[in-house]
Amino acid sequence: MSHWHAVLDGPILAIALTLAAYLGGVRLFERLGRPNWCPAVLIGALLTAAGLWLLGIPYADYRHDVAWLTLLLGPVTVALAVPLYQQRRHILALWKPILGCLPLAAALAACYAVAIAWLLGAPPAVLASLAPKSVTAPLAIGIQEQIGGSLSLMLGGLLITGVVSTLCVTWLARLLDIRDPRLIGFTLGVNGHAIGTVRAFELGPTAGAFASLGMSLTGVFTALFLPLAWRLTGF
């Protein structure tokens, strides 16, 4: 029994479980015919949760151990500078619409959700958790520290927003007859942060670069704007 405990205590199990669940998620995702409504990340997350439950590992312990792996999120974020650099000509050609659209689009992404939840009578803690919904996780955690709310609810909101954005972008692009990968990628990044960006890279390098751009700009803008807006509106 003590041998088993030694295995459960180390971070290797958490990392192995994560890799296995992710690979299983990707496999199932392919089997299901790459459905838009259920990204590989979501299947992988369900498999991970099931694994934790079967092994009797509390989520907090898992989160602590898997930090050895998620540490890589830092250098991967830095690496997103490379597709941005490679696509610089496309991006520079569109700098005006991008800068004109971004502040309004990013601010509205937060405002719509907060306003709707407020109208439905959600308490301030819930509103604060929903506000950073379109921001990439590492930045959103920083915002949450400033404006309050629940970290887990916020991360849940990020997940749902990412999935719903991917769906909405696919559906609305078809409805509005939008085929420009720059426009689709940018919209995916602005609204759907990392999950949208992952989807955009599936569509191609141009969409991926525009999604990275949309994600970074939205993240930076919201990180600056939201704590200020929160103080001004007095939540």
Partner 1 sequence: MTLLRGFLWLLGFQLLGQLAVEWLALPVSPAMAGLLLLLAWLLVTRRLNEGVAAASQALIPLLAMLIMPGVVGVFFVIDEFAGHWTAVMVALVLGTLLSVLTTFWLMRRLMPGDAASLDDSKESRP
Site residues (CB under 8 A) for partner 1, limited to 126-165: 126, 130, 133-134, 137-139, 141-142, 146, 150-153, 155-161, 164-165
227 binds partner 1 (CB under 8 A): yes
User: What minimum distance in Å lies between the beta carbon of 233 and partner 1?
Assistant: 17
Binding to partner 1 by residue 68, rule CB under 8 A?
no
Q: Which stretch binds partner 1 (CB under 8 A): 4-12, 30-38, 60-68?
A: 60-68
- Decide if residue 36 touches partner 1 (CB under 8 A): no
What is the sign, positive or negative, of the torsion defined by CA atoms of 118, 123, 124, 127?
A: negative
The one among 172, 174, 204, 231 contacting partner 1 by CB under 8 A:
172
Task: Specify whether the CB–CB gap between 199 and 166 falls below 8 A.
Answer: yes
Report CA-CA distances (Å) from 47 to 58, 156, 218: 15, 16, 30
Shortest distance (Å) from residue 137 CB to partner 1: 5
- CB nearer partner 1, residue 9 or residue 42: 42
Query: Measured from the CB of residue 219, what is the shortest distance to partner 1 in angstroms?
Result: 6
For partner 1, the binding residue among 120, 232, 233, 234 (CB under 8 A) is 120
DSSP letter assigned to residue 213: H
Q: How far is the CB of 2 from partner 1 (least distance, A)?
A: 27
Residue ranges in 173-192 that form contacts with partner 1 under rule CB under 8 A: 173, 176-178, 180, 182-183, 186-187, 190-191
CA distance 45 to 38: 11
3-state secondary structure of 188: helix
Here the tokens at position 67 are 């930090």
- Which of 7, 34, 37, 112 is in the footprint of partner 1 by CB under 8 A? 112
Give the chain's length: 235
Among 56, 96, 232, 234, binds partner 1 (CB under 8 A): 96
Point out which span in 1-9, 30-38, 57-65 binds partner 1 (CB under 8 A): 57-65
Cβ neighbourhood burial of 39 (10 Å; 0-12, 13-18, 19+) = buried
Structure tokens at 156: 């849940």
Residue (of 202, 183, 204) closest to 40 by Cα position: 202
Q: At what angle do helices 137-147 and 181-203 cross, to 10 degrees?
A: 110
Using rule CB under 8 A, residue 40 touches partner 1: yes
